[in-house]
Homo-oligomer: A and B are copies of this chain.
Amino acid sequence: MEDSNEKLTPLSELGEFGLIDKLTSDIKIKNSTTLVGIGDDAAVIKPKNDMLTLVSKDLLLEGVHFDIMYAPLKHLGYKAAVVNFSDIAAMNGKPKQLLVGIGVGAKFSVEAIEEIYIGIKKACEVYGVDFIGGDTTSSASGLVISATIIGEVEKDRIVYRKGASPNDLICVSGDLGGAYLGLLILEREKKAFQANSDIQPELSAHDYLLQRQLKPEARVDVVDLLAKNNISPTSMIDISDGLASDVMHLCKASNTGCVISEDKIPIDQSTFDMAKEFNIVPTVAALNGGEDYELLFTVKQSDYEKIKTTEGISVIGYMTDVSEGERLVTNDNESVELKAQGWDALKNKRTKN
């Protein structure tokens, strides 16, 4: 796609099987547990005897989960893979095998689908995941990307949402709210462009926030870091819906309440500045923005010293008895009820799972 004048290849020129061959012929298997990848009726895995198998899937739909006008196809492929890897990290596991089904309209070129595949393959390379199932079909409407991830975790390392107890510390990796601000920037520039197509989008100053939205990473490195520092989370989830909604998932599954301290929520300076520009309280972006794909987890109080010295992890609150409900202590030291106003796929249009 280097040369935009290059002739694009219509899908009909290759047909389904030719296309799959073209897209998948360079894929190499990296993991010893992957016996057979793309090319038969099913992929074949030989799980290790002492490991549990983790499975998760996500459906990304054009016009709902992404806007093709500003999401580069390469990044879209990368993101579709990574949001699935994130679900495996949230179980304290490692992603190992990925399958992706893509539905494309007839207007799509072979080169456009290749771009999506470049992103998927890049994500698989970065995370050491085998791409074992790929399937491209026509779509009567928009672009559909459906990914399934298989992961593994040692039996005694698996972490569920339900394992937290009152007094456990609530921790989060990285910083929050950036992905949402990235989305607001993209939507602003899209509107400006639609109003006047001579205006070139001003995006270069916002690299970090745009990367958070368009090309997020899964915190598999945090899974490694916790293991290295001998920290066993009692419960864990990845932040896809927003801190508020996701901590409430942990509380519901663990039958606890919680207290989150607003002043402890990690927010990057660029998120903070851009929130001000959009006239949004930065904490609201962190609580309800979603799509940050950081890990939210709880640890025993006895792990406090270990967590404190673990770089890139913030302690933002603690679990309470279920009777105390879910609370946010604001910067003004007021205790208010925590509310999940985040992305609800069926109530709002713009969302992801």
Contacts and interface: CB of A to CB of B under 8 A. Distances in A.
Interface in A225-280: 236-238, 253
B91 A41 contact: yes
B138 A16 contact: no
Contacts of A149: 42
A351 interface: yes
A210 B15 CA distance: 29
Contacts of A133: 55-57
B148 A57 contact: yes
B97 A146 contact: no
A158 interface: yes
Interface string A7-45: 000011011110100000000000000011001111111
A59 interface: yes
A61 interface: yes
A334 to B, nearest CB: 28
Interface string A87-102: 1101101000101011
A276 B128 CA distance: 55
A52 interface: yes
Contact of A144 (B88, B103, B135): B103
Contact of A347 (B16, B42, B132, B135): B16
Contacts of A107: none
A62 interface: yes
A195 interface: no
B135 A346 contact: no
Given A19-B346, A138-B346, A52 B44 contact: yes
Interface residues of A, number: 74
A103 B42 contact: no
In the complex this chain forms, how many copies of it are found?
2
Contacts of A53: 44-47, 53, 150
Given A137-B351, A141-B141, A347-B15, A42 B88 contact: yes
Contact of A63 (B44, B136, B141, B347): B141
Most chain B CB within a 10 A radius of its CB, from A140, A237, A349 = A140
A208 interface: no
A312 interface: no
A102 B55 CA distance: 17
A91 B353 CA distance: 32
Contact of A91 (B44, B52, B135): B44
Contacts of A253: 39-40
Contacts of A146: 57, 59, 101, 144, 146
A138 B57 CA distance: 16
Given A40-B161, A158-B44, A135 B55 contact: no
The 10 A-B pairs at the shortest CB distance, nearest first, are namely: A63-B140, A141-B141, A41-B90, A146-B146, A59-B101, A42-B56, A42-B54, A45-B53, A137-B345, A148-B148
Interface of A: 11-12, 14-17, 19, 35-36, 39-47, 49, 52-59, 61-65, 87-88, 90-91, 93, 97, 99, 101-103, 132-133, 135-142, 144, 146, 148-151, 155, 158, 160-162, 236-238, 253, 344-347, 349, 351, 353
